[in-house]
Amino acid sequence: MKLGAYTFAWDPDRWTPPVPEKRQGVVLTLDGAGYFSWGANIVGKEIEMEWRFMSLAQFDEIVSLLTADETILWDLDVAGMSNYYVEIMEVDPELPDVTGYEQGYMHNVRVSLFILQETAAQGS
């Protein structure tokens, strides 16, 4: 998996699958209800990626992408799956309770991505 030019040394332990969500709304009226649907779309979906442990080197790379504040390519590096242009919304880490930076990793890291555009699948 890649984020911009950075290839993850450790892939996420858990992450939101990039599947489209149905956009819909309901409006109640005096004598009924109106239902509106704009179909399913992946654009606008928030993706949560979580690592139980992440190396400081990888953490620093992801934080540098966050602070660059640019749209970047999220490359799943899986044949047949689309890739996405995303914004990094948040990087939320914890230091392990019994260690500090000298241990070389962060604990319970959560990265939030916001999908702006879908690109063609690899191998297409």
Flag whether pLDDT at 101 surpasses 80.
Answer: no
How many CB atoms are closer than 10 A to CB 78? 12
C-alpha dihedral sign at 6, 8, 14, 20: positive
pTM for the full predicted model? 0.82
Q: How far is CA 61 from the centre of its chain?
A: 15
Q: How confident is the model at residue 122 (pLDDT cuts 50, 70, 90)?
A: low
- Residue 92 vs residue 81, higher pLDDT: 92
* Strand order from edge to edge, sheet including 2-3: 6-7, 2-3, 72-75, 84-94, 105-118, 46-55, 14-15
Query: Which class in CATH covers the domain with range 2-118?
Result: mainly beta
Q: Distance between CA atoms of 110 and 46, rounded to whole angstroms?
A: 12
Flag whether pLDDT at 106 surpasses 80.
Answer: yes
Q: What is the mean pLDDT of residues 74-98?
A: 88
- Domain-by-domain residue ranges, the chain? 2-118
Closest CA to 20 of 1, 2, 45: 45
Using the CB atoms, write b or e for 17-41: b if 16+ within 10 Å.
Answer: ebeeeeeeeeeeeeeeeeeeeeeee
* pLDDT tens per residue, range 28-80: 999 999 999 989 999 999 999 999 999 989 999 999 999 999 999 999 988 88
